Amino acid sequence: MLDKKRSAGFTLVELIVVIAILAVLAMILIPNITGYIAKAQESVCLSNRGTLKRIYSGYTILENKSVADNTVGVGFLADEGYLNEAQAQSDALNKMIWRVYDNGAVDVFCGEGEAAVATYLFHSPFDTMDDIKVLTGSWEVVDGVLKPTKNGENRAIFEGTSGTDYTVEMNAVYLSGAKGQSGYGIYYRASEESAISGYAFQYDPGAGNAFVVREVNNGKESATIQRVTMSSTMGKDFDITEPHDIKIEVVGDKHVISVDGKKVLEFVDDTFKSGSVGVRTWNDSKVLFDEVTVTKK
């Protein structure tokens, strides 16, 4: 009989094939894993930036001190008890770089490259109404926050923010308002007139408790460019009535919007090429805007 039972082991050819397959899989998976790690690190960094800037605000007020330009790490905050030593020595914080601009505005970045190319356009801790142009309604600054003082349509623009490619960073909290008929928005690439035109990123309960980006033309909302529900991106426990860090990055026709360091919207649109940054509330919305920074890309 020529028929023989086949050996249970692999032949040399089979081993070579298996190794080749594993090599191909590694080529596919390793870049993906690296990409996932990078995205996770970016998310942590964005969250840390917002937290550190709030801690730094308290530090400057209570200690009457300021950080030096290009300071690396957070040791100065740990020295005064605003962070513990373990936090100060963590990989997530000990390489952060602080930048101080000519007008005294301060920002913090995750690495040398980002810090080196960042060019300040505008910063306000909202201690005065300087450089805040009221377009409609009524606004005031109280205790370091910008807020509307009456019901209805309230719009304001930050003077000196006009540009093409930039990053907007702002902290906002929605306190209350008529169900499904209130909310807040952040304008970007917008005109500086009451009949405003530009992009508006909004928390919009009327759109199903969603984050929305809309075109605004001559003061009127038109096309919805992107929409995503808060629960689907931020989780069911997300509470809009707590302070949240919002980041809008726009370069060319590419838009990326993050909330608390988590990317919620990413899209391509070139309807508006340039313009300023501002804020909006409507109906009986009670909203607080706390500190804004606009950085040129």
Asked if the model's pLDDT at residue 39 lies above 70, the reply is no
Asked if the model's pLDDT at residue 116 lies above 90, the reply is no
Return the domain boundaries, the chain: 13-117, 119-296
Instruction: Report the amino acid identity of residue 98.
Output: W
Asked if the model's pLDDT at residue 33 lies above 50, the reply is no
Instruction: Report the amino acid identity of residue 13.
Output: V
Question: What mean pLDDT value characterizes the chain?
Answer: 84
Work out the average pLDDT over 38-64: 73
Residue 204 burial (10 A CB sphere; 0-12, 13-18, 19+): buried
Are the C-beta atoms of residues 282 and 153 closer than 8 Å to each other?
Answer: yes
Alpha helix positions (H), the chain: 12-63, 75-79, 85-89, 112-117, 230-234
Cα–Cα distance list, 118 to 13, 115, 121 (Å): 55, 5, 9
Q: Give domain 119-296's CATH number out of 3.40.50.11890, 2.102.10.10, 2.60.120.560, 2.60.40.1180.
A: 2.60.120.560
Better pLDDT: 173 or 179? 173
Alpha helix positions (H), 118-226: none
Asked if the model's pLDDT at residue 146 lies above 90, the reply is yes
Q: Rounded to whole angstroms, how far apart are CA atoms 57 and 177?
A: 28
Q: Rounded to whole angstroms, how far apart are CA atoms 103 and 268?
A: 34
**Global pTM?**
0.69
Asked if the model's pLDDT at residue 87 lies above 50, the reply is yes
Go through the chain and tell me how many residues it has: 297
Cα-flanking dihedrals φ and ψ of residue 65, to 5°? -130, 165
Half-sphere exposure of 120 (CA within 13 A, CB side): 17
Half-sphere exposure of 39 (CA within 13 A, CB side): 9
Residue 136 burial (10 A CB sphere; 0-12, 13-18, 19+): middle
Of 208, 188, 206, 207, give the one whose Cα is nearest residue 198: 188
pLDDT in tens, 254-282: 999 999 989 999 999 999 999 999 999 99
Predicted confidence at residue 294, as pLDDT, reads: 92
